[in-house]
Structure 1
Amino acid sequence: MSFVTVRDVQEALFLELSAGESGLDQPIHTSDISRPGLEMAGYFNFYLAERIQLLGKTELSFFEKLTDDERLDRMQRLCSPKPPAIIVAHEMEIPVELLDAATENGVPLLFTDVPTTRFSGMLTNFLGGRLAPMTALHGVLVDVYGIGVLITGSSGVGKSETALELVKRGHRLVADDLVEIRQVAKNVLIGSPPKLLEHMLEIRGVGIVDMMTLFGASAIKSDKRILIVVDLEIWDPTKIYDRLGIDEKKLKIMDSELTKLTVPVRPGRNLSVIIEVAAMDYRMKRLGVNAAEEFANRVNSAIVNNPEQPNVEGAE
């Protein structure tokens, strides 16, 4: 799991702090959030204090109908046990009772003018991405025609050099050498670089280069969904490589499966062009156009419509 604090949420979603600054570095362990409507009515039997509490127009309009004693009680119980943070959305006025209780218990009290439902989606997406299961793989991630291509292979096979050529051809580098991969949903993997390696590319014989400095901001991307894996390997003359592409191979990363292509490397092969074609072919397949299947159908049709003629000489 990645590490997320309340301060990360505040900075990412541009929230205003009203109280509880001492709790901004408190970690958040779940991407689930709560809208404590039943709690406003006094039912705290199943209060999920480990979640961020989100108050909107519905909760606070009901809260206004409570007596003074009930209002004090609800906000004290909302802040103890201590939740990671309480966020007031929809530009609603923060009740004095909530402000006092949050200050007393050190609970970060945040404010946004974004409508509650929309903000709930924004917060869930942010936490889901940051707290998703994560792994790291040795490779290079490049955005090619909008397709996230993870280039893998043994050290020295030419992954970084291929990425450099792709960037020169107008594509975007996401990560080099080490790719952090988060599974935000089943078969949805998002790759990004470690903070230490952002924008950097290592070229043997040259060293570390800053791709954003050399090629501009359009040459890099902070993260990208990985759709295909291209594994580079040194050409083995004894190995039979796939020449039709009918049988699609898969690579399993965590609980997700990705399309995997194995591309042999030998002098004279233009790997950057091959990867461009692989990305375009993947996009065409998603649109329902499969050249390999179409070719196989043509061959089968030709066999059926033009059966082999008997050998006249043999018959004599």
Structure 2
Amino acid sequence: MGKFTVLDLLDLDLHDYNALKLKCLAGRKGLVKTIDHMELNRPGLALTGFFKTFAPQRVQVFSAAEHEYLKEMEKKGDFSSVEKLFSFPIPFCVFCRDMTPADWFLAVAEKAGIPVLQTPLPSNEFSVRIIRTLGDILAPQEKQHAVLVEVFGMGVLIKGDSGVGKSETALELLERGHRLISDDSVLLKCLSGKIIMGYSDDRILGHHMEIRGLGIINVSQIFGVRGIRDRKQVQMVINLEEWDSSKNYDRLGTVDLTSDILGVKIPTFNIPVKPGRNIPVIIETAALNERLKHKGHYAAKEFNKNLIQMLESDNARKMYQDNYLTKQD
């Protein structure tokens, strides 16, 4: 993604348990500063003058302890550690529980061009919310030409060449009661290094679909809110491809294929498309089968195991019968 600034953070439209409730008290010329790290720092040691382990690239969170220490500094009239603190390129400072720093502190911040923000949230709650927010915004990401749908609770990324029928397949899945996250272009983000989350790449065209011969349709208006989601974890990939009679397709499912998305391996299935094949039903079955795998039931491996046991049993019976008949003769 492009640069994410302090001003961008203030402009985020966050609600309920995501709301940061921030406002700027000073240092507005520094609102263009870039936020590059999701980690936070409590500057208690820095305020005492110890900067050896100071992390200036992080957001500086001031709670009651830091606020009280600033009051002691004011009594002594020694502001050198704060001036040194603001000499570093920190993105911004934030005071929790609506605590307001003294005018001298705001003046030093204003001179240094460091934004000083304020929130009514306690420091522990603010930390959880901003780490979650920045983790989402700063996560590694990529865009893919695909369709993302939720099928029986599974996030299914449908891929394939243009015109193979991705949108038509998704439309049939919607008709069968499943939900659309994004059509044509999907924004994928890697959260916590192990979860791939998919979003609509276009806010304007989000929850719209392009159907050849029909044009653009509004999914939320046709299918209602039951037919849409804003985001969903990608848990399997379906590659739609034109049927190739010369190609050997997997008929047992004992080979585990995966797709690498931002360093995360996602189970993948190559589905050949030809007239007469009900692709939506195949995708539904694949989603249900994948859910069974998550519960420890692997149909293909269980079938293979039972087949081997049966063959071994038949061979043992045959060997016994052959040896017994030989001895009888």
Q: Sort the Cα spacing of 1:35 and 1:71 in 2 relative to 1 into closer, same or farther, 3 A.
A: farther
With normalisation by structure 2, the TM-score equals: 0.85
- CA gap 1:71/1:238 in 2 versus in 1, 3 angstroms: farther
| Structure 1 residues 1-316: aligned runs within 5 Å | 1-10=1-10, 11=12, 12=14, 13-69=20-76, 72-195=79-202, 196-307=204-315, 309=318
1:67–1:21: structure 2 CA closer, same or farther, 3 Å change rule?
closer
Structure 2 unmatched runs, 5+: 15-19, 323-329
- Count of aligned pairs: 313
Equivalent-residue separation in structure 2 for 1:91 and 1:281 (angstroms) = 51
- Post-superposition Cα deviations, 1:129-161, rounded to whole Å, max 9, x if no partner, equal 211222221111112222211100111111011
Q: Is the 8 A contact 1:20 1:109 kept in 2?
A: yes
Alpha-carbon distance between aligned partners in 2 of 1:147 and 1:2, rounded to the nearest angstrom: 30
| Residues 214/3 of structure 1: CA separation in 2 closer, same or farther (3 Å cut) | farther
- Give TM-score scaled by structure 1 length: 0.89
Report the CA distance shift for 1:78/1:168 in structure 2 as closer, same or farther (over 3 A). farther
TM-fit CA distance, 1:211: 1.8
Contact 1:55 1:88 in 2 (8 A): yes
| 1:254 to partner: Cα distance | 2.8
Pick which of 151-160 and 43-52 moved more: 43-52
- Tell me the percent identity: 36
Q: Deviations for 1:170-208, whole angstroms, at most 9, x for unmatched residues?
A: 222112112121222333212222235322211111112
SS of equivalent residue, structure 1 residue 137: strand
| Segment drifting more, 215-224 vs 233-242 | 215-224
Greater Rg, structure 1 or structure 2?
Answer: 2
Deviation of 1:70 after TM superposition, in Å, equals 5.5
Are the counterparts in 1 of residues 94 and 119 from structure 2 also a CA contact under 8 Å? yes
Please list the CA deviations of residues 237-257 of structure 1 after superposition, one character each: whole Å capped at 9, or x if unmatched.
221211221221111123221
Q: What is the distance in 2 between the residues matched to 1:45 and 1:174?
A: 47
Which residue identity lines up with residue 144 of structure 1 in the other structure?
V
Per-residue CA shift, 1:8-61, capped at 9, x if unaligned? 323332323323334334321222222212112112345433322111233223
SS at the partner of 1:190? strand
Alpha-carbon distance, 1:309 to partner? 4.9
CA offsets, 1:59-93, max 9 Å, x none? 22333333535563333333333422211124434
Corresponding residue SS for 2:245 = coil
Give the secondary-structure state (helix, strand or coil) at the position aligned to 1:76: helix
The RMSD of aligned alpha carbons is 2.5
